[in-house]
Structure 1
Amino acid sequence: MVSSPNAKVLNIVKSSSDHSLLILNSGDPSAKPPKKFSFDKRWIGMAGFSETVQRAWKSSVQGTPFFKLKENVKLTRVALLQWSSSFHTKNQLLIQSLTQKLEDLRANKTSSNWNDWERTRKDLNSAHHFEELFWQQKSKFKWLKEGDGNTIFFHAFVQHRRKLNAITRLVSARGEEFFTQNDMEDHISDFYSHLFTSEGTLGGEAIIHLIPKTITEDMNQVLTQPVDAAEIKSTL
């Protein structure tokens, strides 16, 4: 399930048989929802962070104060995403490189490379901590301080939470089922386009005669007659 977080099993009931047909769908990797922006607290204190925020916030924007504020927030968000786009990948590559270097130093341990081994070990611990912070924020789960092994757990928890939030099937009022991303999007669009569209009333005529009349014909004629200038003047 870690390698295929979008996988699901469909149970298809066949009326001609007492057995159900099971269909395994590994998921549609191309149908991914747009990612939401979230501030990464690891950025604080990193080289280039303050300069990126200041440069984006001071961008020239024309319009009302509220529009300027909204655009500055948007520009800052885009600038931070561009600035940090490769941090996670670079950190993973750094962990691999430092781990390999540490193994090489351990295999050829001598008194001359002891300082190099200790420095590499500290750098690797720092890289692991950086990785843990990433998945700690992603998981939205209580962090357990048990070392870098937690990264796998929190990565799996993130994938599980995304799967719980995913919509894999929709059923229309007529009982039609929709499974693919495009079919579900079309059904949602069609549903809301008709939701507030008047299609007449059903059964209203059957209860109208039960409502008592409080407006007489004479009263109705007075209420619906045109308003003249004298009446308006007397009212004012």
Structure 2
Amino acid sequence: MLHESERRGTPFGGDNSAGSEIRDFSSFVLSMGLLDFPLLGRRFTWCQPNGGVMSRLDRFLLSDGWWDLWGEATQWALPRDVSDHSPVVLRYSSQSWGPKPFRFNNFWLSHRDFGEVVQRSWNRSRPPEWMAVRLSTKLKTLKGDLKYWHSQAFGRLEGRIEELVEALNLLELRVERSPLSSADSEAKFKGFHDLWALLRARESQLFQQSCSRWLREGDANSAYFHSNINLRRRRNSILALRVGSRWVESVSEVRAEIVDYFRNHFSEALMDRSTLDGVAFASISEDDGVVWLSLCVRRRLGGLS
């Protein structure tokens, strides 16, 4: 078990060693860089025959490399028969939830062409005169231009980094045999400049995706940031919803259930409400109101003086 909430029926503390065993196992999982996926279908995978003690003893632990290769996955606890353990199955999800929203990348600001791209895109469009439509059209055009520019300037980021490293290594081997020509020296200088720019872009991108505010961008550690990115993705993922006694997994069903929930939550049922129609309230005449107002004004002015 990884948490005390994964057992029911046995108290922790005192002479019970379960607490220390949980801490040791959690420390092992953390040190090995393994990922624990949420369990769906039921909370516990083992129980005593009398049902007095229940625990989650069965699970899949996966590495970051597996997550990067296969993507979203869930583990489901299936109904058990005569065994005291529930079978657990790992299910891979490849459903498409539609296009991803546009996100501004902070490392764009360090590129020498970014300002020119924005200015050219902003001045290129000629939207209608209505200001609200004009702003919306300009932003939509800018979004498309930035996406295209990003694909040209930073596309295939990992592949371009590998290609530059390989080209620089070839130049290093060549200089061991003979001095480099002026053209090779210039190519080496440009290669190092482009490589540093791509490495900084990758570092900044990983930092932004991981949303780690307690580290500076210069302290990036790829494995650490990748684990934070995957953790954030898992927390933000809705792979299944429990509606009553059933589970829904398909994209269309999950969307429909979410829409129905908020529609019912914010809708107002028609009901008869009590009103004040026909109730006679005590009132003063218009002349009495003028006199009362003048008295209040005099008292206010007297207090100010």
Give the SS at the match of 1:168. Answer: coil
Match for residue 143 of structure 1? 216
Match for residue 31 of structure 1? 96
Rounded to whole Å, the distance in 1 between the matches of 2:240 and 2:200 is 39
Match for residue 127 of structure 1? 198
Residue 177 of structure 1, aligned match among 247, 259, 276? 247
What's the TM-score, normalizing by structure 2? 0.55
- 1:164 CA displacement: 1.2
Match for residue 179 of structure 2? 112
Contact 2:210 2:229 in 1 (8 A): yes
Contact 1:139 1:157 in 2 (8 A): yes
| Aligned residue type for 2:108 | W
Rounded to whole Å, the distance in 1 between the matches of 2:162 and 2:259 is 46
State the number of aligned residues. 206
**CA offsets 1:59-110 (integer angstroms, 9 cap, x no match):** 2222432332233223222221222134333432321112112333344423
| Aligned residue type for 1:36 | P
**2:115 matches 1:50:** yes
Evaluate the alpha carbon distance shift between residue 63 and residue 105 of structure 1 in structure 2; reply closer, same or farther with a 3 A threshold. closer
**CA offsets 1:147-192 (integer angstroms, 9 cap, x no match):** 7xx23432332122111111122122x3222123232122223334
What's the TM-score, normalizing by structure 1? 0.68
Give the SS at the match of 1:2. Answer: helix
Evaluate the alpha carbon distance shift between residue 198 and residue 118 of structure 1 in structure 2; reply closer, same or farther with a 3 A threshold. closer
**2:88 matches 1:18:** no
- 1:52 CA displacement: 2.9
Match for residue 160 of structure 1? 231
| Aligned residue type for 1:88 | F
Give the SS at the match of 1:13. Answer: coil
Match for residue 140 of structure 2? 74
- 1:194 CA displacement: 4.2
Evaluate the alpha carbon distance shift between residue 94 and residue 214 of structure 1 in structure 2; reply closer, same or farther with a 3 A threshold. closer
Where structure 2 has 5 or more consecutive residues not aligned to the other structure, the ranges are: 1-66, 281-305
Contact 2:122 2:138 in 1 (8 A): yes
| Aligned residue type for 1:113 | L
Contact 1:14 1:21 in 2 (8 A): yes
| Aligned residue type for 2:165 | T
Rounded to whole Å, the distance in 1 between the matches of 2:246 and 2:88 is 19
Where structure 1 has 5 or more consecutive residues not aligned to the other structure, the ranges are: 224-236
Rounded to whole Å, the distance in 2 between the matches of 1:48 and 1:168 is 40
Residue 186 of structure 1, aligned match among 242, 256, 263? 256
Rounded to whole Å, the distance in 2 between the matches of 1:187 and 1:90 is 38
Rounded to whole Å, the distance in 2 between the matches of 1:33 and 1:22 is 29
